Each structure stands twice: as C-alpha cells, then as structure tokens.
Amino acid sequence: MAQFLPEASRTFSEYLLIPGLTTKECVPNLVSLKTPIVKYEKGKEAAIHINIPFVSAIMQSVSDHNMAIALAKNGGLSFIFGSQTIDEQVEMVRKVKNYKSGFVVSSANLTPENTLEDVIALKQKTGFSTIGITHDGSSNGRLLGIVTGRDYRVTRDNLSLKVKEFMTPFEKLICGDYGVSLNEANDIIWEHKLNSLPIIDKNKNLCFFVFRKDYESHKEYPLEISDEHKRLIVGAGINTRDYKERVTKLVEAGADILCIDSSDGFSVWQKETLDFIRKTYGEKVKVGAGNVVDKDGFLYLAEAGADFIKVGVGGGSICITREQKGIGRGQATALIEVAEARDEYFKKTGTYIPICSDGGIVQDYHMVLALAMGADFIMMGRYFARFDESPTRKMMVNGNYVKEYWGEGSNRARNWQRYDMGGDDNLKFEEGVDSFVPYAGKLKDNLDITIGKVKSTMCSCGVTSLQSLKENAKITLVSSTSIIEGGAHDVIVKEARN
C-alpha cells in the first residue's frame, strides 16, 4: 500500500503573518534583505550573497542577458536560460560580465580600413557606441583611435567613408596606463570630462575601457552585486545531458553560479551532474540543484554536493505538471518540510545549505511568507516576465498591453531536457503553457514597490533581517472565509488598486 502523508498540501494563500512588536528600530531604511545563496560552514561567510532575496527563473521568456544586467544592478540575480545552444548561452553570460567591470574588455573593435557602414552594423549587433580602433581589429591590438557617436552623422556622411577619416586618432586621446587603479582612472575621467578612458600597456595595446556611466550607475544602484573584479554577478542554468561541455564553457565565460534546471531534482541524473562538477572543479564552481518537495529529496541533493537546493514542483503559474502527471506538492507545505530538513542538516553537519523557493508566488506578501517559512531566496518567473527587460514581445491584446510568457515544458520552449527521465525520448506531452502576462513597465520601478512592501511587512513583524524573520515570525492558517474578509468586501471599489 502506498505511503499516505497526513498533512494537507497547502499554498501560501492559506497563511497569514501575525504582527510582532514594532520597535523604533523597525523602519524600512534599517531593514536588510541581504541573503546567502551558496552553502557555508558554521561560523563562516558564504562565498556569494545577494542584496535582495530574488532571482529570476531559468526560462526563455524571463532570463536573458538584459534581465541579468537589470536584476544584478538592483541587488538580485538571474540564471540565464539553458534551453539554447551552448554558444548562445555563453555569449549572454559574457555580455553580462562585460557590461560593467570598472575595467571593461572592449567587445566592439574595428580597423582604420573599415567603413562607416561597418561601424553602424557593429553598433547594431553589439549595442556598444564606443568602438576601439586597433591595428588588427582585435580587443587587444595596438590602439590607433576610437569612434563614438559624436564622430559621424549617419544622415549626412557617406557609408563608404573609411574609419581612419573620422575616428579620433590616438594622438588626440587621453589614455590610462595599464596598472592604474579604478579610482585613479575615474579621477582622470572627471578631470578631463571624458565619457571613456582607454587603458593601454607599454606597447600601446588596448587593454580595457573605463566608462563614466559605470561610475554614475554604481551611485544610482547601491545594491548592485558584483564580483571581486567589479563585474556584475550572473548565474546560468544547465541540464543533465550536455553538462560536461556546457559547464566547462560557462565557467570559462565567467558564470558565477550554476543551477541544474529540472522539474524533478530527486534523480540520479542530478547526482551524476554534481559528481562531475565536484570531480572536475572541486568546490570552486558553485551549483544549485532541484527541484524537490520533501526531506528525502533535500537530503539526497545535500549529500550529492549541491550549493543550494530549489524547492517546488508544479506551483508555477504556467506549470501544469500536477495536472498532467499528478506530481507535486503545495508550495507552502513543501517549503516548510524542506526548511526543517535544512535546519536539522545544519545542526548535524555544521553545513548550512540555502534553499530557494520556486513557484507559488501570487501576491507580494507571499514572498514574505516564503522567507518566513525558511526560504533564503525566491525564484520567480511570472513576476519578472512582465517587465521591459524580459526578452519577450510587448503586445496589445484586447486593448491592454501584455508580454508573452511561456513555460519551459511547453511545446514553444521545447526544453525536453528539463523534463528528462533518461533514455532517448524527447518531450512527449506538455508540462507548461503558452500565455500572456500584464505588462508592468520597468523592472526597477516595480521592484522598488515590491521591496517596499516586503520591508514594511517585516517591520510589522518586528524584524529587520531575513534571519530574524525566520526565527521570530508567527504564522497562522486561515479559513476560506477569512481569506474573503482580508480583501475589499461589502463596498463598491471606485478604481483599481496597485
């Protein structure tokens, strides 16, 4: 006879937080949302933290390089989707790592013999308006000049005009010497009112660019997460099929953290993938695994060497795994059990393994519930898919702006590796849908509102850190009647609320 679990499978909507004592220290400006995302030993610090507990889902319709850049600037992290060729994913990772590093390797370069037409084509391809002109057109060739948008006029100049005829030549450039500090480079930029500063070695070879906008951007985004070289931090999704080649190339491209992307993480395929990474790279390469919904799944991946473990099966807004296969668990119930297993494991071994809640978020307050129930951070798809920075089209449908949003288990994504059960079979039936989500505008504007709600809720709980929230939050089950009571009722609402 099958094993029956006595507890009902519950969702976040079935719980509420009980207010705690709000002291004078409980104000939003004093609330910290910093959280570890990789395992660490008791008494030590995790190798990677994020400044807000949000990561974007490993999905074609959510996480490309543009989302990764925007979210890292705001303190979170993106896992660039893996359901694309290895080279395409690697290129997205490189774009994030090169976006802001203080010292930026030039990704747009030409020779003096190229034409204005080549300049325009390169700008359209890369998005970069500052082009290094080197003797061989490489990123580290001998610097002969630079071209920016101020050096030509598309409407008047002949497209066959040679670069050497309109570039700013080397003798008119102000350059920094290789080895100059970032602070010194920024001082040169400000002193000479420059937009960019080429950094060259003793042989006049181009090494890097330092950009004024990066300095200003850092001031605008104080929560920005970056590595030791001042480059934005980025994650990448992998599967259990081509991981040997994919992981190698992603690590070479600079990916800071990986995550095995699967609807069911309690599998020998994930252990084999983790074994390969640990054997090849030791603990240097950080990799999460999942998804699981109970203690057994957590312990299996913990012993296999996962740096974090993702919780949730079937709770995503576009996921129909439960409908198709009858597999899954209410997100709240799954998270509570896995968090208890994580805490027991920590007490027993001294190793703390962060858990990521993936799915089930409908309202912003669900995020606080997930964190109070034990999640260290939250992965979201629908939430981020609504923004300008997601890779999908903005469309008008029935008089309203929407953005496309589809699941990795849909026929559109064809990401059969995510639902791999071994063998040679590909995707035979869908576990995700193709849909629209209401368009919401810029990520930063919306994220600021969400973070404001989260911090305000934490203040009402009497806490100012995520660790304190886990330890001190009080949570209650609610009845169906009290759920109705919690919203506007018995009135005629004048206008839509945010």
What is the set of active-site residues? 319, 418
Measured distance CA(493)–CA(498) in Å, rounded: 13
How would you write the chain as a 3-class SS string?
Answer: CCCCCCCCCCCHHHEEEECCCCCCCCCHHHCECCEECCCEECCCCCCCEECCCEEECCCCCCCCHHHHHHHHHCCCEEEECCCCCHHHHHHHHHHHHHHCCCCECCCCEECCCCEHHHHHHHHHHHCCCCEEEECCCCCCCEEEEEECHHHCCCCCCCCCCEHHHCCEEHHHCCCEECCCCHHHHHHHHHHCCCCEEEEECCCCEEEEEEEHHHHHHHHHCCCCCECCCCCECCEEEECCCCHHHHHHHHHHHCCCEEEECCCCCCCHHHHHHHHHHHHHHCCCCCEEEEEECCHHHHHHHHHHCCCEEEECCCCCCCECHHHHHCCCCCHHHHHHHHHHHHHHHHHHHCEECCEEEECCCCCHHHHHHHHHCCCCEEEECHHHHCECCCCCCEEEECCEEEEEEECCCCCCCCCHHHHCCCCCCCCCCCCECEEEEECCECHHHHHHHHHHHHHHHHHHCCCCEHHHHHHHCEEEECCHHHHHHCCCCCCCCCCCCC
Contact 83, 64 (CB under 8 A): no
As given in the structure block, the two tokens for residue 338 are 């896995």
Burial label, 147 (beta-carbon count in 10 A; 0-12, 13-18, 19+):
buried
For the chain, the farthest-separated pair of C-alpha atoms sits apart, in whole angstroms, at 83
Contact 317, 381 (CB under 8 A): yes
- State which amino acid sits at residue 102: G
As given in the structure block, the two tokens for residue 164 are 């050497």
Place of tokens 């400006």: 29
Task: Tell me how far CA of residue 213 lies from CA of 79, 100, 209, 220, in angstroms.
Answer: 25, 9, 12, 10
Q: Which residues share a beta bridge with 387?
A: 441
Nearest CA to 443 out of 53, 76, 35 is that of: 76
Measured distance CA(384)–CA(447) in Å, rounded: 9
